[in-house]
Amino acid sequence: MSFSNSRRSWLFGLAALGVAGALGGCGFHPLYGTHSDSQNTNADLANVRIAPIANRTGQLLYNQLRDRLNPTGKPAEPVYVLEVVIVESGADLLLEPNNTASRTILDLTAHYKLRDIKSGSTLLTSQSRSSLSYDIQNSQYATLSSEQDVRRRATKQLSDDISTRLALFFSSGEAAAAAAQPAAPAPTAPAAPAAPAAPASP
């Protein structure tokens, strides 16, 4: 290895250490690390029950989220419930001279909300999106295989994004603060006007 390459590698190593130190100073910890804050966050994630998600794509995302949030199994006494709705769309990207598509895109948007089971209050509402494309092959089987692979990868991206967002939400203390908010008092009906007094008898 040349001196120039050795020096470049040495500088890259120093830069990597600097980035790691900066992330540690900012309170960054792995999603499933051993830090006490990470352990608390993992415990919160493990207490999230994932509501069933409609259709085949939803089932793929459900399984991905289960692997991320509940790696040891469904929570026996969940504290939170995660509700997800997937919106799917597609579009042709490339057209051949005969107007047949040669490449298409799969766009998935997951609208989700996290609710506290005990109070029923919504703690977090957000959405994640994944857009991936694949080639349309001459073989129908090859095209179907490509589509299935893209669908798996897209739901994996959604799962990673949702899990990370929930982990940040729990680690920031927002969930505890939102759950501690007193429920809004039920509106009271306005008082009925008083009936007029009956006239005195003569």
Query: What range defines the domain where residue 158 resides?
Result: 23-179
What single-letter amino acid sits at 135?
Answer: D
Is 80 within 8 Å of 49 (Cβ atoms)? yes
pLDDT score recorded for residue 176: 63
Residues 128-171 have pLDDT tens digits of: 999 887 777 777 777 777 788 889 999 999 999 999 999 999 99
CA dist., res. 45 & res. 42, Å (int): 5
In a domain, 9, yes or no: no
CATH of the domain at 27: 3.30.160.150
Confidence of residue 29 (pLDDT cuts 50, 70, 90): very low
Domain assignment of residue 107, yes or no: yes
Q: Does a structural domain hold residue 1?
A: no
Pairing mode, strands 122-135 and 101-116:
antiparallel
Task: Decide if 86 is inside a domain.
Answer: yes
The helices-and-strands tally (H runs, E runs) of the chain is 5, 4
Q: In this structure, is residue 104 part of a structural domain?
A: yes
Tokens describing residue 95: 């057209």
- Look at the alpha carbons of 136, 94, 153, 124 in this order and tell me if their dihedral is positive or negative: negative
* pLDDT greater at residue 39 or residue 192: 39
pTM to 2 decimals?
Answer: 0.66
Per-residue pLDDT for 18 more than 80? no
Answer yes or no: is 77 within a domain: yes
- Residue 177 scores a pLDDT above 80: no
In this predicted model, what pLDDT tens digit does every residue of 83-133 receive, in sequence order?
A: 999 999 877 665 666 656 667 888 999 999 999 999 999 999 999 999 887
Q: Is 143 domain-assigned?
A: yes
- Say whether 70 sits in a helix, a strand or coil: coil
90 Cβ neighbours under 8 A, 6+ residues apart: 104, 105, 106, 107
Question: How many domains does the chain contain in total?
Answer: 1
Rounded to the nearest integer, the mean pLDDT of the chain is 75
User: Cβ atoms within 10 A of the Cβ of 201, count?
Assistant: 4
**In a domain? residue 93:** yes
